[in-house]
A and B are shown apart, each in its own frame.
Chain A
């Protein structure tokens, strides 16, 4: 069964069709990459998958359940975790507290007024931090972390509610080459161990072709190619998009 089935997704901003009739599916425990040049519609597409943006038309089903129309918090409770392209964490909390926050929400303990939050789910939070290699920095103020570490923290937060689907928006942007490799290995491990399905966007082609099971290519809001890394690599349209067709300016209407 597919983890996520997306059908005929459309979103316009004014006259711009940011996402135009996009359909695809994410298989169970698949590591699926969504690539495309800047402005192709990847982020819009991504933001619709977790309810951040509502599509104009189309359907998104998570293991059969429709998630279009649900706000992000509901989509998260249904089992879709995500990381952001520009990291979003709680800057007045420590690394550990950030993860505890997600765990408190997962266990529906947000309205508790009496217990100390700092003592809640410490072991679970530590295990998650350990998983992403951040255990040694658990006590640090989140606002002082390096960018790559913030990305890993986001991953730990996203894993806190044991998601069935994980959306990662440019997970390795701003990281050193070695870190990128480590993070993608880590992601692959998580997919294997927890049975999570992952959809990620990425600009680094080494990361994409080295780790993805399958690749989707978007350009100007449309899905132009899909397939295994080898198939996508051989696709002439994809080559034209990334390497250019040789003509600097396409004639009017020849797009």
Chain B
């Protein structure tokens, strides 16, 4: 009993810190519509900075000054980031800002290692509160009681801020309808900057408060950002009280889950999140989103089939890839094989989120299911590669059908978070079901059949299958089904009014995208000769997102360009540069600011028209995105 009370209080202390982070994330999303992936990174920075200040500032007050000071300093950095980077890309397509904040996260991860080293750092104890008091016979740290109090205190402070100040009223108004607030003469620039700064301040304070309780390390950011996302969505987007309730719920689940259900402790949080979203699609205290205003002046270009130039370029690329083994050694071949696999993975994600409008934060689930589908066949029935490649993706298709059925009932960010929950559930099952999947040790010995064992032969196999897959996805996009999928994305109202069964079409699209990802996963397993749970990790899902967004979400060739660029860069940098995340992250930020439409989008809109103009108007009859302008 007494132990349970202590555990409960422990949960509450974690809840406070999580609430600070999540409320900041929630406020930022509510007003700016930015899914701030870097929120965890700012939390981590707050913790590291507080550690340094607390150990260097003299006297008993040093510690107590260090906490708010570090939060303020990080908030200042946040303001700088907002003004120099994010402000330039608010007009970019939805979620593109996520890419920038992802780049920032990569940079921060390497920066903290450069500055503070890779070791775990344990902060000093809080002067004056370094003892423990007995609660039901159990000693409980006094400092944790302060942390527990911080949660409700901050909640109260935010409530007063939003209800009693003019600034708070503007923020609430902007959360409901920012276009209208701008039309009323409110300077949006500064409103966004101040909201972002406040959010970052809360995140950094959450991090700083933790230093006497937990060691500071350079993987904190991902750990925190995932939990914060879960809390924000479970609580209801933009709802601070909801975030508080959800934070308490999730923290207690973490505290007791490990005691009560050790076998499924990892999956518990995500099971609860999935359950909440299925029953209350807008979170505990959230409200259904009003029909979002179509952003003015952002006419989407219709997708076009390849013109003669595009077709020629594609054939040229295919030809070059076919001739590659003549000049390339085994290492380069293996790298290109991997690029091809990820191009298929990215294209399948694009089918779902670019064409279908269903953003997935958990597409790795289907990639991983494909890989494990083949691996389990090898492990349990000793299936040959041919059978594995044929049947492996079926597991991904089954996953897509099952999870998709739930997901298509939601839309927008909620749908995205449900896909994340399902991916984490799959990951946890594979991680914890040791008897079947080998858990952390993975499944080894998944090698191609003898005839395909040579890297050259396997390269041709992958080139053939991925090429086929890419052509098939393209074909689907331009088929009546692909049009129906796009129709549901463009206007649900109109789609339903002309007899299209939205949920069924989206469900089919979801499953199809999962199956294509599964093909990629299966090929990946045979390339590596093994599978480990990290093929399903959030990192893989995020990689997919980065590839699609980097390439340009409104183009058909975008995911392929994005996958090749991103994967090639990351493979090259991991092998050549010590602080590769810093360079890659910086590069992503630069690319985002330079090409807010993605690389392929930039080509289509900026370079393409100029090239054509130079080539002369004699080919105005070609199918180009701009040809209607030239047409009489």
Contacts and interface: CB of A to CB of B under 8 A. Distances in A.
B425 interface: no
Most chain A beta-carbon neighbours within 10 Å: one of B302, B478, B497, B631 = B497
Contacts of A139: 627-628, 631
B494 A88 contact: yes
14 contacts: A73-B501, A84-B497, A88-B491, A91-B299, A92-B486, A105-B484, A113-B475, A116-B478, A116-B479, A120-B480, A139-B628, A144-B299, A157-B498, A161-B499
B156 interface: no
B480 A93 contact: no
B496 interface: yes
Contacts of B475: 113-114
Most chain B beta-carbon neighbours within 10 Å: one of A72, A92, A157 = A92
B482 interface: yes
Interface string B279-317: 000000000000000100011111101000000000000
Interface of B: 294, 298-303, 305, 475-476, 478-484, 486-487, 489-491, 493-501, 505, 508, 554, 627-628, 631
A118 interface: yes
Contacts of A63: none
Given A90-B490, A141-B301, A104 B483 contact: yes
A194 interface: no
Contacts of B476: 113
Contacts of B486: 90, 92-93
Contacts of B496: 71-73
Interface string A37-62: 00000000000001010000000000
A142 B299 CA distance: 8
A178 interface: no
A10 B396 CA distance: 47
B300 A92 contact: yes
Contact of A116 (B305, B489, B500): B305
Given A77-B499, A110-B500, A88 B301 contact: no
A250 B13 CA distance: 60
A88 to B, nearest CB: 4
B482 A117 contact: yes
Contacts of B480: 104, 109-113, 115, 117, 120
A177 interface: no
Contact of B493 (A71, A88, A97, A160): A88
B498 A140 contact: no
Nearest to A137: B628
If over half of B's interface residues share one DSSP class (helix, strand or loop), that class is named, otherwise mixed; here it is: helix
Given A110-B480, A110-B484, A116-B479, A141 B628 contact: yes
A117 B478 contact: yes
A9 B342 CA distance: 56
Contacts of A157: 494, 498
Nearest to B488: A90
B498 A161 contact: yes
Contacts of A113: 475-476, 479-481
A142 B490 CA distance: 11
Contacts of B499: 73-74, 76-77, 105-106, 161
B481 A143 contact: no
A117 B487 CA distance: 12
A101 interface: yes
Contacts of A141: 299-302, 628
Interface string A101-140: 1101110011111111110100000000000000000011
A89 interface: yes
Contacts of A115: 479-480
Contacts of B483: 93, 97, 100-101, 104, 117
Contacts of A52: 493, 497
A219 interface: no
A94 interface: yes
B479 A91 contact: no
A214 interface: no
A80 to B, nearest CB: 9
A222 interface: no
A151 interface: no
A71 B505 CA distance: 16
Given A72-B497, A76-B497, A89-B494, A111 B628 contact: no
